[in-house]
Amino acid sequence: MNARTGAPLVWLSAAELSGDMHAAHLVRALSLAAPNFGMQGLSFAGMGGPHLREISSFEALFRVEELSVMGFSEVLGRLPHIFSLLRRIKAAMAARKPAALLCVDAPSFNFRVIKIARSLGIPVYYYISPKAWAWGRGRVRFLQRNVRRLISILPFEVDFYRQFGMDIDYVGNPLVDMMDWPRLDGIHPVPGAIGLLPGSRAREINSLLPEFGKAARILLTARPDLRFTCIRAPGFEETTLRALWPDDVPVRFLAPEDRYALMKSAEMLIAASGTATLEAALLGTPTLAVYKVSPVTYALGRLVVRIPYISLSNLILGKELFPELLQEKAAGESIARYALAWLKPSPGGGSPLEAVRQELAALKGILGGGGATGKAARVILEDLQTVLQG
């Protein structure tokens, strides 16, 4: 309970920038729907990023930027900081006594926050269910023991969890609602426009953007008409990114606010595998999904991750529609080779890029058609109502 307003307090744990974006939309949906469930107001506190910090009802006690790490070996180097952060979170949760914990994605961190909540007797809701299908049964058992309601945004997760006797709430994908479709449907790809999305974490950007620059130099040799636009992630200034880009290759660096229009207008994209590749797939823009982590992280990942693809769009469609350029393939020469194969007309006429766009057209319907965030809010509030009534 919020001591100042008397409104039920929900603790938010959004530990990644993409989760912060989804969490902000969910907070707005929860606040809008709360009166329908006998709650005149809700307040929120916890960990968030720039999107959550724009919401007046959210108190950012911890910042998602404190966790700008990725992979096994990268996390190991920051364990003392992470454990200190978790101790501070536990102290704050014990002092604030929230009515519920709402986790958004980021299981490696959020599972630890869930353990804290359960030790304090705080019920747990999980939005954007962890990718247990990639990591094995241990995560499923943890979720069964510790989470009241698990909310999924990926259609194939329903059958996966059902085989373990676990019901989940599939609400569709919120990305469908975040796009201004009347405007975006009027934007068409511009020949020669190549969009670049090198990631949202410092580690991703530092490893991928120089390789994107090398690829651009090679591509310009073969196609001098190409133009490159890099979309900045929130929190990264142009000067930081330009220092990682070759001086002899022309590029524009643009702010992220209108990224969907920029992505839709590109003939193709080169992007760090993650949320951006699913956004690109929804927009119908062919994308090379690129990713590189440390050799130790990659070796360990191969031992435990059990999925045929890393790109969500490929997983949902059941095929490698977006080429996945991982590790040694995440090099400028390889990226340029794949890009040129897409940019050249097919021998029998037509365009490889157009063939990819046609296959992407079905994705929007597969992902629920809209309303995901509102559905998730109703699932949470319906159950939270019973918790508050005792």
Tell which residue, 143, 89, 172, 141, has the closest CA to residue 371.
172
Query: Which tokens sit at 367?
Result: 């992902």
What local confidence, expressed as pLDDT, does residue 348 receive?
Answer: 72
pLDDT 10s digits, 196-220: 999 988 889 999 999 999 999 999 9
Distance CA 201, CA 291 (A): 12
Tell which residue, 298, 275, 300, 271, has the closest CA to residue 205.
271
CATH superfamily assigned to domain 9-177+370-388: Glycogen Phosphorylase B; (3.40.50.2000)
Q: Which residues contact 107 (CB under 8 A, 6 or more apart)?
A: 130, 131, 139
Which pTM does this prediction carry? 0.81
Strands 266-272 and 100-104: unpaired
pLDDT 10s digits, 121-161: 999 999 998 887 776 677 888 999 999 999 999 988 888 88
Distance CA 195, CA 332 (A): 15
CATH class of 181-366: alpha beta
CA-based angle 298:198:342, to the nearest 5? Answer: 90
User: What is the per-residue burial (b if ≥16 Cβ within 10 Å, else e) of 38-69?
Assistant: ebeebbbbbbbbbbbeebebbbbbbebeebbb
Query: Which tokens sit at 47?
Result: 């960990």
**Which strand ranges, in their side-by-side order, compose the sheet holding 9-14?**
58-63, 43-48, 9-14, 100-104, 124-127, 149-152, 169-170
What local confidence, expressed as pLDDT, does residue 71 receive?
Answer: 44
Q: Where are the beta strands (DSSP E) in 41-143?
A: 43-48, 58-63, 100-104, 124-127
Query: Which tokens sit at 38?
Result: 């006998």
What local confidence, expressed as pLDDT, does residue 310 receive?
Answer: 84
Distance CA 233, CA 358 (A): 28
Q: Which residues of the chain have pLDDT under 70?
A: 1-6, 68-78, 135-136, 296-306
What local confidence, expressed as pLDDT, does residue 351 receive?
Answer: 86
What local confidence, expressed as pLDDT, does residue 73 receive?
Answer: 40
CA 107 to chain centre: 12
What local confidence, expressed as pLDDT, does residue 72 receive?
Answer: 41
Q: Which residues contact 327 (CB under 8 A, 6 or more apart)?
A: 291, 292, 293, 298
Domain ranges in the chain with CATH number 3.40.50.2000: 9-177+370-388, 181-366
